[in-house]
Amino acid sequence: MVVNKFLIKAMNIETGGILIALLTESDAQKLDLNIGDRVLIKKGRKEITAILDIAKSSRTLAKGKVGLFQEALKHLNAKSTDQVSIHFAGKPKSLQYIKEKLHGKQLSGKELHQIIDDITNDRLTDIEKTAFVMGGYMNGFSVKETVAMTKAMVETGEQLKFNGIVLDKHCIGGVPNNRTTMIVGPIIAAAGLIMPKTSSRAITSPAGTADTMECLARVELPKNKIEKVIKKCGVALVHGGSVNLAPADDKIIEIERPLAIDAEGQLLASVMAKKHSVGAKIVLIDIPMGPSTKAKNRSDANKLKKKFVMLGKALGIKVKVIVTDGSQPIGNGVGPLLEAKDVITILKNEDHAPTDLKEKSLKMAGILLELSKKVKKGKGYHRAKYLLESGLAWQKMQEIIKMQGPQKMPSLGKYSFNVKAHRKGKVKAIDNLTIAKLARTCGAPFDKGTGLFIYKKKKDKVEEGEILFTLYAESKDKLNLAKKILIDQEAYLIK
């Protein structure tokens, strides 16, 4: 009889998520296992499914031992010298469903739940998760599939519950800056309402709300801390991935980010799963419309709007959708630190605060106040403006920062370059994609102080040689790469 009991050796290495187990070549042969096989590893009542790798050297691993990486040890609550049993597990059922999705089949709720459960529990490799992402990107998800996927994301993660009406908002992206959440949130909190804003990090943009808020406060908080912040402040501005809310969503985003894709069905499920996970009953969705956004025209925007409303209805959430101008960046800064500075200037009512970002935030806050019945219809904007301009929203933001844990603000990138107008005229258009590409090339969102600061917007008059925007980077190499982009791509159209 083949003995399948092994002592653990902690490898003291993190894989970044996937669960990996190491065996010696001879031990693997005794169990008839090969590289890449899935193995079921049991320690008492705890068990995991891991991907097998082979240790070629006895210096790496001795016979009779299984090498486990940090993620596997954590899942098993195990340490070196603990004993585990190892069994061949076979491939997850979800792989067949993923293949079918690649071929254009519409998946059932049960099939999608299996895929999401396997993603949540790290049973799939990055290649297998990528296949699922590409299947959805190429063939799309029906409304029925999207509803099923959203529910599966919620059911396979934790959920937060609060007393009272829970509000939330989301922008589907495509517009640099547009950092309304960090302004709307404090206004809503100052009105005595609840908005547990769990945000994702940037996928294709130079910064997400979590990336920007991290310049001011901690955003990676455990569930009990987030609940304390919300109960005390009314609003938390945190990274949703830190609390296991719809965890499959964050694992899928990790795949989407390097590919720079964001499939529509996945987008809908991603947004609504997070809202459902925090118990939101009223959600405001911002769909920017413009050449570089997901909604290129009114028809695209209306189709997305309809799907969000239908998905909300299926989840028991009242969804209000607004279509906004997505033809140019909103605010002045693009990149975590620069966007955070825009937010602060607005909350502190400083004269040089960007008026476009301020006005959009006031309108959104006003809509939420009216939907909550906190104010009468038509009075929301004025109430939001009072809460902002009286300083109450800034006080609330300071309270949120203190509760989440203040962070030392990063420094602005030490290398800079002014991009100037080549001719006199009026700004006719600004290419959001080029602006975002420039900011990301400079290092955003990972280098917090990088990105660009915009001086001129659409319809502004410019003189030849006048500064349009300034690039900031932490290294000369990244700044030079950004400058090279400007040789082939025009960020501004001036006529």
pLDDT tens per residue, range 424-448: 999 999 999 999 999 999 999 999 9
Neighbours of 316 (CB within 10 A): 9
Residue-level pLDDT at 3: 58
The fold adopted by the segment(s) 5-88 is Barwin-like endoglucanases (2.40.40)
Residue-level pLDDT at 118: 92
| Average pLDDT, rounded, for the chain | 93
Helices and strands of the chain, counted as H and E runs: 18, 18
For the ranges 238-252, 290-304, 447-461, the maximum mean pLDDT occurs at 447-461
Cα diameter, the chain = 85
Percent of the residues in the chain that have a pLDDT greater than 90, as a whole number: 77
d(CA 377, CA 466) in angstroms, rounded, equals 44
Query: Average pLDDT, stretch 480-485?
Result: 97
pTM score, whole prediction? 0.85
What is the SS3 assignment for 395? helix
Residue 356 token pair: 């476009």
CATH architecture of 167-404: 3-Layer(aba) Sandwich (3.40)
Q: Where are the domains of the chain?
A: 5-88, 94-140, 167-404, 415-494
Q: Which residues contact 258 (CB under 8 A, 6 or more apart)?
A: none
Q: Which residues contact 298 (CB under 8 A, 6 or more apart)?
A: 289, 323
CATH architecture of 94-140: Up-down Bundle (1.20)
Please name every residue paired with 322 in a beta bridge, in sequence order, or none if there are none. 286
Q: Catalytic residue at 262?
A: yes
Beta strand residue intervals within 172-303, DSSP E: 195-199, 235-239, 282-289
**Angle CA 403–407–413, to nearest 5:** 150
The C-alpha torsion from 380 through 383 and 313 to 143, rounded to 10°, is 80
Strands 235-239 and 282-289: unpaired
d(CA 393, CA 227) in angstroms, rounded, equals 20
Domain 415-494 CATH class label? alpha beta
State yes or no: pLDDT of 394 exceeds 90: yes
Residue-level pLDDT at 1: 39
Read off the pLDDT band of 237 (50, 70, 90).
Answer: very high
Of residues 402 and 13, the one with the higher pLDDT is: 402
pLDDT tens per residue, range 120-170: 988 888 889 999 999 999 999 998 999 999 999 999 998 888 888 999 999
Please identify which of the residues 211, 250, 262, 447 carries the catalytic annotation. Answer: 262
CA nearest to 237, candidates 220, 262, 259: 220
